[in-house]
Amino acid sequence: MSKKDAAPLLPDEIIMNQIYYIREHKVMLDRDLAALYEVDTKQLKRQVKRNIDRFPEDFMFELTKEEFENWRSQFGTSNLSDKMGLRYAPYAFTEQGVAMLSSVLNSKKAISVNIQIIRIFTRIRRMLIDNTELRLIIEKLEKKTDNNAKNIELVFQYLDELLEKKEKPKPRTLIGYKTAKKK
């Protein structure tokens, strides 16, 4: 069995459930990536900080306090002091940032999980493109049905006019020979 045919390390659903939409980007958080790579979050952050030039803002950003609170509220945490085991706001990695992590974390596990994550990001992008195409087709159909609805309305209007004329016929002038009236 070739490397390409190898079974994925993790079910795709696990990875897909760890992709969030923050600042209009699909991102994964440092703690989730560290768990997937089987390294400590502290080690992952340390490697990123050592290679910070590889992670511009469109590759990775740190959540603001407000974003962090909003993200935490998604999980319904009631204990604010717990902070879900986080002392600092997590880093959020875009698809490009996740790809860059494979050059920073050189373990075989990190590289193979990264490949799987990139494939999932690509699949998500394809699904969004397919949805966009479907949305455009639906919009075209809506325009056609709007025009059809207007045409149907016009037909009914003409039918109403014809029925109205039939109910109230105009008096017709008689044609033909005139005969004398009988007394």
In this prediction, residue 165 has a pLDDT band, given cuts at 50, 70 and 90, of confident
**Percentage of residues in the chain having pLDDT higher than 70:** 84
Render pLDDT for 109-121 as a digit per residue (tens, 0 to 9): 777 888 888 888 8
Statement: the pTM of the whole predicted model exceeds 0.75: no
pLDDT at 24: 85
The alpha carbon of residue 39 and the mean position of all alpha carbons in its chain are separated, in whole angstroms, by 30
80-96: buried (b, 16+ CB within 10 Å) or exposed (e) per residue?
Answer: eeeeeebeebbbbbbbb
User: Could you read off the pLDDT of 171-181 as tens digits, one per residue?
Assistant: 777 777 777 77
pLDDT of residue 82: 46
Domain range annotation of the chain: 12-134
Q: Is the pLDDT of residue 6 over 80?
A: no
More confident residue, 182 or 36: 36
**Torsion angle of C-alpha atoms 28, 30, 32, 35, degrees rounded to 10:** 140
Please write the tens of the pLDDT for every residue from 16-74.
888 888 888 888 898 888 888 888 888 889 989 999 998 999 899 988 888 877 776 66
